[in-house]
Amino acid sequence: MPKIGNSLPDEDILCERCNSKRKISKTWIEKIQNPNGFMILYHSQIVCTNRECQEEFEKTLLEETLKREKLRQLKLERSVKRPVTKTA
Ligand SMILES: [Zn+2]
């Protein structure tokens, strides 16, 4: 039976962009409330030790976030402008 879970800590996985070593830059815990109680999620942010690579990655990430935010705003505006048709 295959082992479930990470056999390798994320840190030991090389960067898929530049093959450099990566490191954990921060870890945090998120508590999510659900009808059955709490769910605890463990997050860790892994960064590339290659500074140029990491900077490039963050730039792309930021651009994507901005793009998504723009799309969301656009959608919101459209839904506001659209006349509401009510069936009596
Ligand atoms: Zn890298």
For ligand 1, the distance from its centroid to the CA atom of residue 14, given in whole angstroms, is: 8
pLDDT of residue 85: 73
pLDDT of residue 67: 97
How buried is residue 22: exposed, middle or buried, by Cβ count under 10 Å (0-12/13-18/19+)?
Answer: buried
Q: How many domains does the chain have?
A: 1
Higher pLDDT, 88 or 39: 39
In a domain, 23, yes or no: yes
Instruction: Report how many helices (DSSP H) and strands (DSSP E) the chain contains, helices first.
Output: 1, 2
Q: Is the pLDDT of residue 48 over 70?
A: yes
The residue written with tokens 């463990």 in the block is 42
In a domain, 3, yes or no: no
State how beta strands 37-48 and 22-34 pair. antiparallel
For ligand 1, the distance from its centroid to the CA atom of residue 56, given in whole angstroms, is: 9
In a domain, 38, yes or no: yes
* Domain enclosing residue 73, as ranges: 10-79
Identify the DSSP state of 35: T
Q: Is the pLDDT of residue 7 over 80?
A: no
In a domain, 41, yes or no: yes
For ligand 1, the distance from its centroid to the CA atom of residue 60, given in whole angstroms, is: 13
